[in-house]
């Protein structure tokens, strides 16, 4: 039932399904429920953030056939929270219910080798790369790929499964450290900045695109996203939006999708990777846009018209990791100073309801809005100071 363009829209009161119970699923639940839908979440974790707020939590593995059948029987349409859900599970669901996005689209972006080839076939530039499946592939890799980054072909995210390699010998050692599993060796390019585009595409092919976010990463994890509402339509943003739309159309994608890009020092735009879901860099839409990326996901899943993506104001999103719960001097657990955060005008706190804070674990985010980008930066600096976060205002 993946061909959904002629399917009737689902009205409020119907059930929507979610594969995945983390924070993205939790925020989807809130958005879908505000539109009047009920949500069933399938996730094995009894303490899943999404399961805690959904009308139904099916506690089972993502490949549990009976659980998938239960989800499909309850829900007329199902979506996903993360890209590593088994594509076969989506195929099973699609036999009896609508699945948005479809298994084919998710399968393409689950494997970096397949993803890079797909991007190239779509006419979207990527960094020079070479699939690495054996040690011989490293020996035969072009010199232009060094220095480079060796990336695991599957299950890598937030900087995991990646290693910077300055030489062929370093690449060989990194490949062995990753268990000689398939990888992509990608040339390191002279970057000016990193940006991302979040868009939504409906079953009827209608698309809406959010303004680009400029992103700052620390240790491979997104730390800060910035959107300047007064300069949301520059040439680079327009190019990135058009490229993201080409990708979504080629995938026959239905739902919310994010494409990350590198902007090179010479002004060229290069696609990095695709996330077939709402994205950390799109969290700013919860407070600075007419409708959030999670509302778009609910609308696309239900087959109702997509919402306006216009910016209401400039915004800076600060990612909150579990490290904040550890005192930097003693290492003991402590609660961050939320009253100081909430005292900052324009600061909107979003915590994900996770039971345990761990270093490197995404626990929440703060959207800091302002009448101008400068005002948002000044306010974000105050929030960062209250939390002990590094931030350049």
DSSP β-ladder status, 77-80 and 15-19: parallel
Q: What is the pLDDT of residue 370?
A: 98
| Fold held by 191-387 | D-amino Acid Aminotransferase; Chain A, domain 1 (3.30.470)
Q: What is the pLDDT of residue 214?
A: 97
- Whole-number Å distance between alpha carbons of 232 and 219: 27
Q: How many CB atoms lie within 10 A of CB 330?
A: 8
- Whole-number Å distance between alpha carbons of 392 and 338: 21
Report pLDDT digits (tens) over 183-201: 999 999 999 999 999 999 9
- pTM score over 0.85: yes
SS (H, E, C) 156-221: CCCCCCEEEECCHHHHHHHHHHCCCCCEEEEECCCEEEEEEEEEEECCCCCEEECCCEEEEEECCE
Q: What is the pLDDT of residue 126?
A: 95
- Please determine, looking at this structure, whether the domain spanning 15-109 carries the CATH number 3.40.50.20: yes
Same fold, 15-109 and 128-187: no
Q: Where are the domains of the chain?
A: 15-109, 128-187, 191-387
Element housing 214 (H / E) = strand 213-218
User: Average per-residue pLDDT in the chain?
Assistant: 94
**HSE-up of residue 176 (Cα within 13 Å, Cβ side):** 7
Give the CA distances from residue 59 to residues 39, 63, 77, 115, 210, in Å, rounded to whole numbers and listed in that order. 14, 12, 19, 31, 34
pLDDT tens-place values along the chain, 393 residues long: 554 456 789 999 999 999 999 999 999 999 999 999 999 999 999 999 999 999 999 999 999 999 999 999 999 999 999 888 898 999 999 999 999 999 999 999 999 999 999 999 999 999 999 999 999 999 999 999 999 999 999 876 655 788 999 999 999 999 999 999 999 999 999 999 999 999 999 999 999 999 999 999 998 899 999 999 988 778 899 999 999 999 999 999 999 999 999 999 999 999 999 999 999 999 999 999 999 999 999 999 999 999 999 999 999 999 999 999 999 888 899 999 999 999 999 999 999 999 899 999 999 999 999 999 999 999 999 999 999 999 986
Q: What is the pLDDT of residue 82?
A: 87
Shortest CA distance to 161 belongs to which of 115, 197, 112? 112
Element housing 380 (H / E) = helix 373-387
Report pLDDT digits (tens) over 121-134: 999 999 999 999 99
- Whole-number Å distance between alpha carbons of 121 and 362: 34
The matching CATH number, chosen from 3.30.1490.20, 3.30.300.30, 1.10.150.120, 3.50.70.10, for 128-187 is 3.30.1490.20
Report pLDDT digits (tens) over 367-387: 999 999 999 999 999 999 999
* CA-CA-CA-CA dihedral for 86, 91, 93, 94, to nearest 10: 150
Residue 210 gets which letter from DSSP?
P
Task: Please provide the DSSP assignment of 113-159 as one string.
Answer: HHHHHHHHHTT--B--EEEESSHHHHHTS-GGG-SEEEEESBS--TT
Q: Taking a C-beta distance cutoff of 8 angstroms, is the pair 207, 296 a contact?
A: no
């Amino acid at each position: 039932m993946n061909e959904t363009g002629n399917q009737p829209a689902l009205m409020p009161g119907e059930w929507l399904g979610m594969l995945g119970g983390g924070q993205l699923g939790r925020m989807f639940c809130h958005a879908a429920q505000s539109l009047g839908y009920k949500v069933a979440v399938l996730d094995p974790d009894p303490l899943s953030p999404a399961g805690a707020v959904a009308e139904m939590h099916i506690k089972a593995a993502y490949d549990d056939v009976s659980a998938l059948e239960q989800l499909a029987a309850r829900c007329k349409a199902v979506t996903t929270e993360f890209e590593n859900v088994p594509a076969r599970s989506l195929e099973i669901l699609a036999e009896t219910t609508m699945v948005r996005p479809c298994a084919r689209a998710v399968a393409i972006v689950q494997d970096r080798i397949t993803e890079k080839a797909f991007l190239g076939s779509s006419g979207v530039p990527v960094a020079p790369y070479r699939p690495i499946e054996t040690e011989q592939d490293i020996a035969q890799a072009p010199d232009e790929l060094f220095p480079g980054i060796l990336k695991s072909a599957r299950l890598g995210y937030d900087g995991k499964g990646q290693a910077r390699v300055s030489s062929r010998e370093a690449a060989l050692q990194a490949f062995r450290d990753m268990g000689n599993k398939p990888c992509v060796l990608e040339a390191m390019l002279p970057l000016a900045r990193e940006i991302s585009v979040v868009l939504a595409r409906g079953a009827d092919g209608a698309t809406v695109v959010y303004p680009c976010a400029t992103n700052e990463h620390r240790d491979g994890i997104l730390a800060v996203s910035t959107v300047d509402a007064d300069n949301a339509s520059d040439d680079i943003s327009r190019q990135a939006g058009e490229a993201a739309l080409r990708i979504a159309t080629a995938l026959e994608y239905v739902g919310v999708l994010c494409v990350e890009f590198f902007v090179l020092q010479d002004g060229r735009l290069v696609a990095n990777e695709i996330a077939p879901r709402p994205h950390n860099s799109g969290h700013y839409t919860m407070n600075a846009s007419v409708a959030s990326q999670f509302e778009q996901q609910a609308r696309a899943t239900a087959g109702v018209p997509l919402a306006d993506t216009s910016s209401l104001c400039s915004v800076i999103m600060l990612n909150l990791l579990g490290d904040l719960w550890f005192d930097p001097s003693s290492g003991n657990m402590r609660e961050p100073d939320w009253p100081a955060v909430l005292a900052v005008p324009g600061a909107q706190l979003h915590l994900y309801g996770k039971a345990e804070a761990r270093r490197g674990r995404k626990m929440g985010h703060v959207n800091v809005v302002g009448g101008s980008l400068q005002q948002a930066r000044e306010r974000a600096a105050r929030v960062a100071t209250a939390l002990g976060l590094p931030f350049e205002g």
